[in-house]
Amino acid sequence: MTGYNNNSGNGDLHFADELWKTANKLRGSVESAEYKHIVLGLLFLKYISDAFEERQQYLIEETHNPDNPDYYTSVESDAEFVCEDKDEYLGANIFWVPKEARWSYLMENATQPNLGKLIDEAMLAIEREYPKYLKGLLPKIYAHSAISPQTLGEIVNLFSTIGFGTKDAKAKDVLGRTYEYFIKMFAKTEGHRGGEFYTPKCVVRLIVEMLEPYEGRIYDPACGSGGMFVQSLKFIQAHNGNGRRISIYGQELNEATWRICKMNLAIRGLEGNIALGNTFFDDRHRDLRADYILTNPPFNMKEWGADRVVGDVRLKYGRPPNSNANYMWIQHFIHHLAPIGIAGFVMANGSMSVGGAEGEIRQKIIEGDLVDCIVACPPQLFFTTQIPVCLWFVTKDKADKRCRNRQGETLFIDARKLFVKISRVQNDFTDEHIAKIAGTYHAWRGEKEEGEYKDISGFCKSATLDDIRSHGYFLTPGRYVGTEIVEDEGEPFEEKMAKLTSQLAKQFKESEELQKKIRTNLKDLGFNIDSNNTD
């Protein structure tokens, strides 16, 4: 099912860890939240300059190549004109970069005390060239940054060691993956605040693999740094699809994060309608009905302003309490789905079983036969929150002719045991885990290439609406899938019990010996725990 690498590590980006470590050391006492925009802005600038300079080198060679009649000229001034002709770059889908914004120029001035001012001017120069796409987007924060000109020069020199915009680098998506890696590391550094703009790649990939957004309108109303869009494009490319057949729509509340998202899309060559504003109270895509909704909204939001959406058309199933916005998000997603659209989103586990007003809304959504699949996720997938999460998949049409008729059915998957530990505090899905979960979902939907679906005790269960009613409209997968069946090893009970008893006796004996050694060691140190009276 999966067609591209997990990249939870860095794959062939062998330099990424060292690049991050060195760059992070240079920030000194500067807050990560500020330093993030300094570094990501420079990465963007380096990329477009690299691509420009490679194209320029090609033009220099071809204007002096007699075997190329399209470019060759014996007049040096004509050759110089061609090498600076903006159309020669735009026609090759490459940014034309003004001289004052080229990396080579910044390198020449890397030791100057006004380097920050020069970088700001470079950002402005690029925005002036591309006002439609970049106006007001790039960071102009370098001249007044807390980072010294010397440190800024060191960062420029550091990034000069990596070629991001060359043909080979672009083929391997070196910049995109480095940019993605830096976003992840900044999110990790910032802790809880970092969760505002970063969703772990394995979670995004699982949602993408389950929805398979080959074409159509893709919407993320809480888009952060744009990871859902980027992974959708990677999925399309991995399956030899055409990225031009998707339309991207998003909205982000935080302006700084919105800028990161726009730059993240720009370096991938993606154009998207990414709006800035509060999705609840200023829905910038009011008339959109999306084919795919992929999102990780900020869940469990308290005091979110429920009184401001009274009578809102999106609240078809009920008004959520001001104490939690989860069901505002869920109803927002449902409202924006096309008739045969499908949404996949991250939610806190409490959304599956909460009672009160939210429980009543969930009951109505279930009775409306909208819940296609629920996936219980392993703990600690997010390093920005310890809140247990699940994945919801919601659709308005389970009789969609692209799959089998699933009306009155919901698939429950308990994936809590499918993970690898990548650090003391974080778990991850492997490619195999993602393939297993996504493959199970597609088999259940009746997609022939995935084979026949079967319930598996402890892992997956296709439940009916009556099943869900009998469980009080709770959507917790563990209620439906049961316990995992452990295969009989063929060992008679008496023999197995004797073996276990022997092992236990051995462990008791080892424990007694260990206690004796500890007591002896303590006596040698002048302590006699047998004589201590703690009553």
Residue 111 has pLDDT above 70, yes or no: yes
Helix (H, G, I), strand (E, B) or coil at 147: coil
H helix runs in 324-395, sequence order: 326-335, 356-367
Residue 499 has pLDDT above 60, yes or no: yes
- Per-residue pLDDT at 181: 77
Of residues 145 and 192, the one with the higher pLDDT is 145
Distances from the Cα of 285 to the Cα of 165, 218, 254, 309, angstroms? 34, 12, 17, 16
351-360 pLDDT tens trace: 999 999 999 9
Report the distance separating Cα 93 and Cα 52, nearest Å: 10
pLDDT band, residue 493 (cuts 50/70/90): low
- Per-residue pLDDT at 505: 80
Q: In angstroms, what is the C-alpha Rg of the chain?
A: 28
- Per-residue pLDDT at 193: 47
pLDDT band, residue 413 (cuts 50/70/90): very high
- Per-residue pLDDT at 1: 39
What mean pLDDT comes out for the span 226-231?
A: 90
What mean pLDDT comes out for the span 223-251?
A: 89
In the CATH scheme, what architecture does the domain 197-481 have? 3-Layer(aba) Sandwich (3.40)
* Six-digit token string for 481: 């899938």
Residue 311 has pLDDT above 80, yes or no: yes
Spatial CA neighbour of 342 closest among 310, 380, 294:
294
462-485 pLDDT tens trace: 999 999 999 999 999 999 998 766
Of residues 377 and 224, the one with the higher pLDDT is 377
pLDDT band, residue 502 (cuts 50/70/90): confident
- Per-residue pLDDT at 5: 36
What mean pLDDT comes out for the span 42-46?
A: 89
Spatial CA neighbour of 357 closest among 394, 322, 392:
322
Percent of the chain scored above 90 by pLDDT?
A: 56
Cα 81 to the center of its chain, rounded Å: 43
174-190 helix and 16-26 helix, angle to the nearest 10 degrees: 50
190-220 pLDDT tens trace: 654 444 546 788 999 999 999 999 899 999 9
- Per-residue pLDDT at 418: 93
Instruction: Report whether 65 contacts 71 (CB < 8 A).
Output: yes
- At 492, which amino acid appears? P
What mean pLDDT comes out for the span 168-176?
A: 62
123-136 pLDDT tens trace: 999 999 988 778 88
Pairing type for strands 216-220 and 290-295 reads parallel
Of residues 270 and 171, the one with the higher pLDDT is 270
Residue 390 has pLDDT above 90, yes or no: yes
Of residues 181 and 280, the one with the higher pLDDT is 280
- Per-residue pLDDT at 383: 63
Helix (H, G, I), strand (E, B) or coil at 185: helix
- Per-residue pLDDT at 265: 87
149-159 helix and 16-26 helix, angle to the nearest 10 degrees: 170
Spatial CA neighbour of 228 closest among 245, 195, 206, 260:
206
Spatial CA neighbour of 4 closest among 241, 230, 173, 234:
234
240-292 pLDDT tens trace: 888 888 999 999 998 888 988 888 888 777 888 999 999 999 999 999 999 99
Q: CATH code for 16-188?
A: 1.20.1260.30
Where in the chain are the domains? 16-188, 197-481, 493-524
- Per-residue pLDDT at 11: 47
448-466 pLDDT tens trace: 676 789 999 999 999 999 9
Of residues 490 and 166, the one with the higher pLDDT is 166
- Per-residue pLDDT at 371: 98
Report the distance separating Cα 398 and Cα 372, nearest Å: 7
Q: What is the enclosing helix (H) or strand (E) of 443?
A: helix 431-444
Percent of the chain scored above 70 by pLDDT?
A: 88
Instruction: Report whether 83 contacts 59 (CB < 8 A).
Output: yes
| Least confident segment among 47-51, 160-164, 388-392, 483-487 | 483-487
Determine whether 507 is exposed, middle or buried from the number of CB atoms within 10 Å of its CB (0-12, 13-18, 19+): exposed
Residue 225 has pLDDT above 50, yes or no: yes
Distances from the Cα of 452 to the Cα of 207, 320, 411, 439, 463, angstroms? 21, 39, 14, 10, 16
Summary mean pLDDT of the chain: 86
Say how many CA atoms lie within 13 Å of 217 toward its Cβ. Answer: 18
Note if the pTM is more than 0.75. yes
- Per-residue pLDDT at 534: 42
- Per-residue pLDDT at 10: 45
pLDDT band, residue 14 (cuts 50/70/90): low
Mark 218-232 as b/e (b = at least 16 C-beta within 10 Å).
bbbbbbbbbbbbbbb
- At 516, which amino acid appears? K
